[in-house]
Amino acid sequence: MEKQVSFDQISKLTKIDNLSRQDLIQRNSILEGELARVIKENYELRNLKITDAQLQLILQEQLGELRNTIYGSSSERYKKSDRPKEPAGPPKPRVKKPSERYPQLPVVERVITMDPVPSCVCCQSVMEDSGMTEDSEQLTVIPKKYEIILQKRKKYRCSKCHGDIQTSPAPARIIEGSSYSDEMIQDVALSKYCDLIPLERYAAMAARCGVMDIPPHSLIELTHQYADFVIRAYYGLKHKVVLARVLRADETPHKMLEGSETKSWFLWGFSTEKVCYLECHDTRSGDVASDVLMNSKCEVLVTDVYSGYGKAIKEVNKQRFEKKETLIKSGYCNAHARRYFFKARVNHPEAEFYLEQYHEIYKLNAQAKGKPPDQVLELRQSMKPYFKVMKDKALEDLVKYPEKNKFFKAMAYLINNYQGLTLFLEDAEVPIDNNAQERLLRSHVVGRKTWYGTHSERGAKTAAILFSLVESCKLNQVNPREYFEQLTKDLLQGKKAYTPDDFKKLSIPGPEGPV
């Protein structure tokens, strides 16, 4: 027989002044049980013929209405989030929300508790877990960890005739039989040619992680063999460079420490908006540029005013003229022209005039960034008066200064190269300066101050190959480590090599995944 609660007891239960949360939950449970008993007795008094299942459904509906009346909102405004909740099932595992700042990183929860559990400052009762937390994020790092991979290739035998044993084939690797894994070979190569870490320092860093006595010369050999492994992607860069209509070119010294009679080598760079192609040679002769341009589709070569490029263009144009092909035009770097005035301003305040004109020119150039070609040309047309006024003033003032004067040289540079400096005004594809190409050589310049140079011609070739691919990744805003990791996997599977800009296209998600 169900235990009944008297009216006085119910009256006491409805008084909720100064009650704790636990007491309220207990009293609410008693009240709901009493309400269910009253509803059940009411139906029995009416002598209704009703099954237990129907009665249970009615009780649930009435209890739901009662809860909504007491605890629900009085507003009748409807929102999608206000739809009735589905019946509670088993508790679902808590989903770790990604970080708002670094959504690509995994989140590891660290729960901080109090031991012993504190007491309430009001009533001195022992407190309990409320289920709420105060959250904060911290970016952390896991130090590099080295492991040994013990590769076990299963052997199979014939249990019938015992005449044959077959071993599982070894998986394809960058260097067959090497004591270094593919992952470490990539890490070594990118540590040097992307992060600019000398391999002697790499070995010292590994020693601090517990891996002692890695010979740096063996790490250098890894970079050579890895460059040979990805050389097809490097050739892909050259193929795209020779097909480009507008090319940027520059060169920088490269020291050959040993292994060659010529100590002063040069790293030559040719680039487009998406591709950087580098070659290392023992000469600064224009023949290097001639070899690249001879079979190219280039129509404009953007450079500084170095005679080697002028010689190369003259040789190539001679052949193109005979074949009745489009001749190559020279586009010159306005950053160089401005730099001459900037250096002269120390002793010649009048150089400020030219700097002010260039300030307005570069301001208009910044506005043209990202716009369609017709709008770019429209903005560039408004630069013409600034160039004309600089040329007119330079022609007027040139006779006032001696030829060896810095300010004279700055004005003479502007006048003598005026056509190449203003070529970009008529062609939206031609850049205002050659700064983009010079930036592509910056890593090599920084690196050579760290490792001074290369010890062999093979090392120079390795530098050209790996720097080309790394700098092309940067041009396309591609993570070099992601590119080389995927390229290595695909080459090991016998797939075709691809350049960083191709990799970016492959990585763009489409409606059904990556294209």
452 and 317 co-located in one domain? yes
With respect to residue 513, please indicate whether it lies within any of the assigned structural domains: yes
Identity of the amino acid at 142 = I
Last residue of a domain, one of 431, 460, 477: 431
First-residue to last-residue Cα distance in the chain: 71
With respect to residue 55, please indicate whether it lies within any of the assigned structural domains: no
389 and 353 co-located in one domain? yes
Report how far residue 506's alpha carbon sits from residue 500's, in angstroms, rounded to the nearest whole number.
10
With respect to residue 383, please indicate whether it lies within any of the assigned structural domains: yes
229 and 305 co-located in one domain? yes
Report how far residue 389's alpha carbon sits from residue 357's, in angstroms, rounded to the nearest whole number.
9
Identity of the amino acid at 477 = Q
Report how far residue 417's alpha carbon sits from residue 411's, in angstroms, rounded to the nearest whole number.
10
Region label for 324, one of left (φ > 0), alpha (ψ between -120 and 50) or beta (otherwise) = left
**Coil vs helix vs strand at 272:** coil
Strand partners for 279:
268
- Total Cβ atoms within 10 A of residue 502: 18
Strands (E), 117-245: 155-157, 165-167
Report how far residue 222's alpha carbon sits from residue 88's, in angstroms, rounded to the nearest whole number.
59
Report how far residue 71's alpha carbon sits from residue 74's, in angstroms, rounded to the nearest whole number.
9
409 and 455 co-located in one domain? no
Report how far residue 91's alpha carbon sits from residue 28's, in angstroms, rounded to the nearest whole number.
23
320 and 446 co-located in one domain? yes
328 and 339 co-located in one domain? no
Residue 18, CA distances (Å) to 21, 22, 23, 29, 32 in order = 10, 12, 10, 18, 21
Question: Exposed (0-12), middle (13-18) or buried (19+): which is 155, by Cβ within 10 Å?
Answer: exposed
263 and 383 co-located in one domain? no
- Total Cβ atoms within 10 A of residue 177: 6
With respect to residue 290, please indicate whether it lies within any of the assigned structural domains: yes
Peptide bond into 116 cis (omega under 30): yes
- Model confidence, pTM: 0.74
Report how far residue 134's alpha carbon sits from residue 353's, in angstroms, rounded to the nearest whole number.
60
With respect to residue 484, please indicate whether it lies within any of the assigned structural domains: yes
| Phi–psi pair at 455, nearest 5 degrees | -100, 0
With respect to residue 270, please indicate whether it lies within any of the assigned structural domains: yes
The 8-class DSSP code of residue 258 comes to S
329 and 223 co-located in one domain? yes
Q: How many CA atoms lie within 13 A of 78 on its CB side?
A: 2
Radius of gyration of the chain (CA): 38
Q: Return the structure tokens found at 397.
A: 């003032």
Report how far residue 380's alpha carbon sits from residue 303's, in angstroms, rounded to the nearest whole number.
20
Last residue of a domain, one of 407, 431, 455: 431
> Whose CA is closest to 438, among 352, 317, 342, 333?
333
- pLDDT per residue, tens digit, the chain (515 aa), is 445 555 455 555 555 556 677 777 777 777 777 777 767 666 665 655 556 666 666 666 666 666 665 555 555 453 444 444 555 555 555 555 677 778 878 888 888 888 888 898 898 898 888 888 888 888 888 888 899 999 999 999 999 888 899 999 999 999 998 999 999 999 999 999 999 999 999 999 999 988 998 999 999 999 999 999 999 999 999 999 999 999 999 988 888 888 788 888 899 999 998 999 999 999 998 899 999 999 899 999 999 888 889 999 999 999 999 999 999 999 999 999 999 998 888 888 888 999 999 999 999 988 888 888 889 898 999 999 999 999 999 998 888 888 888 889 999 999 999 999 999 899 889 888 888 888 887 887 776 666 677 888 999 999 999 999 999 999 999 999 999 999 999 999 999 999 999 999 887 654 433 33
- Bridge-based pairing state of the strands 155-157 and 165-167: antiparallel
448 and 412 co-located in one domain? no
* Residues contacting 486, CB < 8 A, separation 6+: 503
Cβ–Cβ < 8 Å for 354, 341: yes
pLDDT digits (tens, 9 = 90+) for 82-94: 444 555 555 555 5
**Coil vs helix vs strand at 510:** strand
Residue 250: enclosing H or E segment and its boundaries? strand 246-255
Identity of the amino acid at 83 = R
Q: Return the structure tokens found at 499.
A: 């350049």
* Residues contacting 485, CB < 8 A, separation 6+: 186
Q: CATH number of the domain that 296 lies in?
A: 3.30.420.10
* Residues contacting 408, CB < 8 A, separation 6+: 398, 401, 402
DSSP code per residue over 22-68: HHHHHHHHHHHHHHHHHHHHHHHHTT----HHHHHHHHHHHHHHHHH
With respect to residue 482, please indicate whether it lies within any of the assigned structural domains: yes
* HEC string for 81-140: HHCCCCCCCCCCCCCCCCCCCCCCCCCCCCCCCCCCCCECCCCCCECCCCCCCCCCCCCC
Identity of the amino acid at 346 = V
What residues make up the domain containing 340? 334-431
276 and 407 co-located in one domain? no
With respect to residue 82, please indicate whether it lies within any of the assigned structural domains: no
Strand partners for 509:
514
383 and 494 co-located in one domain? no
The 8-class DSSP code of residue 425 comes to G
Helical ranges in 398-430 per DSSP H = 406-416, 418-421
311 and 438 co-located in one domain? yes
Last residue of a domain, one of 408, 431, 454: 431
* Residues contacting 264, CB < 8 A, separation 6+: 253, 255, 256, 282
Count of domains observed in the chain: 2
